[in-house]
């Protein structure tokens, strides 16, 4: 969805209020596709702050389905983010300003989908848990430790440290 910015610059107030819902379907982060559980809501106020500069302030809200970082069960994650960003209509006016959002402005239009996706990327969680007490899965048999006890009976020893275990068992017995 493109928002025409020249109308905002030409208006007496130099301000516009946006409230949109975007149906984006999925988002790809680090090669993994995550589905949206609801449309992305974006509320923003666009203000003219210079001849070729605009300030966008507002909030992005949505819900995503992200697997638990321990047991891999799907978790409904609520993402909400406040933002405040300067937008430049022409590249010449943005010299010296490092801007990772250059695709947000296309000509004199704001690409609202890219703008919302950038906010989602910036606030994407590193790890999501289904619960604070999630036990995860067994490294050996793959059993979900939240639902059952592991029956594989293997002691988890890092093979790189197995030599130390042998050393401790043979030479350092208690006196």
Q: What is the DSSP letter of 122?
A: H
In this structure, are 141 and 118 located in the same domain? no
Residues in the chain: 175
In this structure, are 118 and 155 located in the same domain? no
Number of domains in the chain: 2
In this structure, are 106 and 43 located in the same domain? yes
In this structure, are 113 and 146 located in the same domain? no
Domain range spanning residue 173? 137-175
In this structure, are 38 and 98 located in the same domain? yes
The H or E element spanning position 6 is helix 6-10
The tokens of 3 are what? Answer: 């928002």
Pairing of the two strands 109-111 and 2-4: antiparallel
134-150: per-residue pLDDT in tens? 999 888 788 888 888 88
Q: pTM here?
A: 0.69
Rg (CA), the chain: 25
Evaluate whether residue 170 is within a structural domain: yes
The tokens of 114 are what? Answer: 């890219």
SS3 at position 32: strand
How far is residue 35's CA from residue 33's CA, in Å, rounded to a whole number? 7
In this structure, are 19 and 100 located in the same domain? yes
In this structure, are 92 and 163 located in the same domain? no
Question: What does the mean pLDDT of the chain come to?
Answer: 82
Evaluate whether residue 128 is within a structural domain: no
In this structure, are 37 and 93 located in the same domain? yes
151-167: per-residue pLDDT in tens? 776 666 777 877 777 77
Query: What percent of the chain has a predicted confidence (pLDDT) above 70?
Result: 86
């Amino acid at each position: 969805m493109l928002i025409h910015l020249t109308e905002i610059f030409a208006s007496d107030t130099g301000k516009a209020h946006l409230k949109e819902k975007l149906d984006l379907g999925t988002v790809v982060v680090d090669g993994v596709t995550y589905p949206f559980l609801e449309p992305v809501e974006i509320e923003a106020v666009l203000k003219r702050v210079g001849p070729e500069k605009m300030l966008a302030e507002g909030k992005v809200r949505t819900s995503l389905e992200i697997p638990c970082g321990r047991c891999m069960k799907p978790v409904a994650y609520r993402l909400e983010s406040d933002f405040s960003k300067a937008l430049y209509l022409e590249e010449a006016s943005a010299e010296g300003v490092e801007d990772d959002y250059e695709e947000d402005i296309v000509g004199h239009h704001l690409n609202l989908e890219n703008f919302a996706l950038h906010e989602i990327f910036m606030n994407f969680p590193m790890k999501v848990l289904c619960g604070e007490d999630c036990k995860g899965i067994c490294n050996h048999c793959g059993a979900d430790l939240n639902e059952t006890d592991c029956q594989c009976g293997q002691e988890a020893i890092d093979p790189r440290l197995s030599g130390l275990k042998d050393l401790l068992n043979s030479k350092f017995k208690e006196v």
